Amino acid sequence: MDTSGAMGETSRPLRFAALIVAYNAVSTLRKVLDRIPESAWERLEEVYVFDDASQDDTALLGQGYKSTRGIRNLNVYSNPYNLGYGGNQKKGYDYAAERDFDYVILLHGDGQYAPEMIPEFIAAAEKTRAAAVFGSRMMKRGQARKGGMPLYKYVGNKILTTAENTLLGSRLSEFHSGYRMYSVEALRKLHYAAYTDDFHFDTQIIVELLHQGMDIVEIPIPTYYGEEICYVDGMRYAKDVMLSVLRYKLFSLGVLGCEWIGEKGTPPRRYPAKRSPLSSHGRIPRMVPAGARVLDVGAEGNYVGELNDKGCEVVGVNNQPSPPGVTNLYSAYHVKDLDREPLPDQREVGLFDCIVLADVLEHLTAAPVLLSSARSLLSERGTLIASTGNVANWTVRLALLFGRFTYRQRGILDDSHVHLYTRRSFRRLLEGQGYRVRRTKVTPIPFELVAGRGSFARLFWKGVEYVYYASARLWPTLFAYQFILMATPAKGIRVRSDSSPESA
């Protein structure tokens, strides 16, 4: 749970506001305002209506309502031109941030969502201090259909929500309710200015809330269908929603960029462990002999447990301290700036049967120096295991075809990579430092990171991964996601300063 800023403050009452987005709502806005409970008017510091350049007298009706009822905390604003459903929300959230509210509730001017529920939203926010409180029409079995949701919309909602939960690893009962409350402090950390102005804005904001690890609390709400549904093209909306989720999922795998996911507020980078036996994390521990003495360079603990189970003694080296739960798995742990400092001296750590450089060399400007240093720490029959991403993978080639070469937070084009390798150039890097490559293995795209939590989804993506792996074996330079090389020090080779091997 995000407890920073206003959500962490308990010394004063929280400040609540309600944003009503309205378009051609002259026949419904008065009823929406009438239905706001008196207790809610007392708790809401402001109720502000953003009329999105309606073609009727929506704004005039709202201003008349304020004047005749004498409601001081009701304000009505009219956009000079139509911003769209998402664009109107952006303006409303900017307004909430400017006035430093703690929470803003989103209501629709067509009466589709019950204003009578506002006190329940406020109570949920006061109890949980969550980043978002969502109203769900699906939490109570049968309630959506009883409330008038057409069968085809109910089925479509269920299918979309299941697909989104599967891809995002979430457990929301509904993705497609527009009745929501957001913490303004959470909104400040989101990248919502880059979201769409269309109806799938609501999906993109959920995706970034999940991406940033913020808490979403759901409460049940009644179902009611108003006029706004007429403005939504259901098939186009479903397509836009799924394209947004799939784009984010490919972004999380490092395959594509995602321009509406910002870096603001992103937690420190830790790469997810890959459990598939075809992944680098799955294959490397199987390549290490049982009982070996191992130096794990770039140690993050992804496979040290498996090495310990094989009776290996594992020493870790990383450029920054790791959590105690990671460092405690190693027999010794050294913090070294690998671009500026050599590996620990042989007199300090001894010799090793195996040195692992899993996805390390591409992060270093001085990779040849590190490889040379590692060679001096290998025992007579020692092996070096190194892996890296394949910059010639078809996804990168396809992006280049369209003039794109975008660095991201992880994957082949990780923005912390300073060198990118093909199979040939990676082999030459090792050979240039006096190694002889004995074996080369490939890994598939890590589809397991797409699978989510459902058993059927995991089984499906596992099948996809094995089919893809067969393609990577047949055409490794095009389809391999990573290359894993096993090498040994070459006999009778001296290393030249230009990193190319020469016979002694």
* Look-up of token digits 């929506």: 58
Asked whether the predicted pLDDT for residue 268 surpasses 50, the reply is: no
Q: For residues 279-288, give the mean pLDDT.
A: 93
How far apart (Å, rounded) are the C-alpha atoms in residues 29 and 427?
68
Tokens of 126: 């006061």
Please tell me the predicted confidence (pLDDT) of residue 262. Answer: 62
Residue bearing tokens 């309710």: 177
pLDDT at 37 over 70: yes
pTM, 2 dp:
0.61
> What is the C-alpha to C-alpha distance for residues 125 and 229, in angstroms, rounded to an integer?
28
CA distance 132 to 350: 53
CA torsion through residues 215, 216, 220, 222, sign: positive
pLDDT score recorded for residue 87 = 95
> Which of 265-279, 328-342, 367-381 is least confident?
265-279
Return the pLDDT at 405: 87
For 103-115, what is each residue's pLDDT tens digit?
999 999 988 899 9
Please state whether beta strands 16-22 and 352-358 pair in parallel, antiparallel, or not at all (unpaired): unpaired
Instruction: Quote the DSSP letter at residue 170.
Output: -
Round to whole Å and give the CA distance between 390 and 426.
9
Q: Average pLDDT, stretch 291-295?
A: 96
Give yes or no for residue 129 having a pLDDT over 80.
yes
Domains and CATH numbers, the chain: 5-252 (3.90.550.10), 280-503 (3.40.50.150)
The answer to whether the beta carbons of residues 372 and 498 sit under 8 Å apart is no
Contact call for residues 357 and 426 (beta carbons, < 8 A) = no
Instruction: Give phi and psi for 247, each to the nearest 5.
Output: -60, -45
| Res. 210 pLDDT band, cuts 50 70 90 | very high
Q: Which DSSP category does 273 fall into?
A: P
**Secondary structure letter of residue 414 according to DSSP:** B
Q: Is the pLDDT of residue 269 over 50?
A: no
Report whether pLDDT(14) > 90.
yes
The pLDDT of residue 327: 86
Residue 295 confidence (pLDDT): 96
Asked if 342 contacts 280 with a C-beta cutoff of 8 angstroms, the reply is: no
Cα separation, 286 vs 303, in Å, equals: 10
Residue 494 has what pLDDT?
Answer: 52
47-89 per-position pLDDT tens digit: 999 999 999 999 999 999 999 999 999 999 999 999 999 999 9
What are the pLDDT digits (tens) for 141-164? 887 888 778 888 889 899 999 999
Give the mean pLDDT of the chain.
Answer: 87
CA proximity to 209, closest of 94, 130, 107, 97: 130
Confidence of residue 271 (pLDDT cuts 50, 70, 90): low
Dihedral of CA 174/176/178/183: which sign? positive
Residue 72, SS3 per DSSP: coil
- Number of Cβ within 10 Å of residue 215's Cβ equals 17
- 372 has a pLDDT exceeding 70: yes
Given the DSSP bridges, would you call strands 16-22 and 44-51 parallel, antiparallel or unpaired? parallel
For residues 449-455, give the mean pLDDT. Answer: 65
Of the chain, the percentage scoring pLDDT greater than 70 comes to: 89
Bridge partners, residue 493, by sequence = 503
- Token look-up 């078809």 returns 394
Query: 413: which residues sit within 8 A by CB, 6+ positions away?
Result: 254, 391, 396, 405, 406, 407, 420
Select the highest-mean-pLDDT range: 145-149, 252-256, 302-306: 302-306
For 153, the 3-state DSSP assignment is: helix
Strand order through the sheet with 216-220: 74-78, 44-51, 16-22, 103-108, 180-183, 132-136, 216-220
Single-letter residue type at 198 = D
Write down the pLDDT at residue 160. 93
Please give the sequence-ordered ranges of beta strands (E in DSSP) within 5-52, or none if there are none: 16-22, 44-51
How confident is the model over 353-369, as a mean pLDDT? 94
Residue-by-residue DSSP string for 303-365: SHHHHHHTT-EEEEEESS---HHHHTTSSEEEE--TTTSPPPPHHHH--EEEEEEET-GGG-T
Residue 403 Rama label (left phi>0; alpha psi -120 to 50; beta): left
**Band of the pLDDT at 249, cuts 50, 70, 90?**
confident
What is the rounded CA–CA span in Å between residue 306 and residue 301?
10
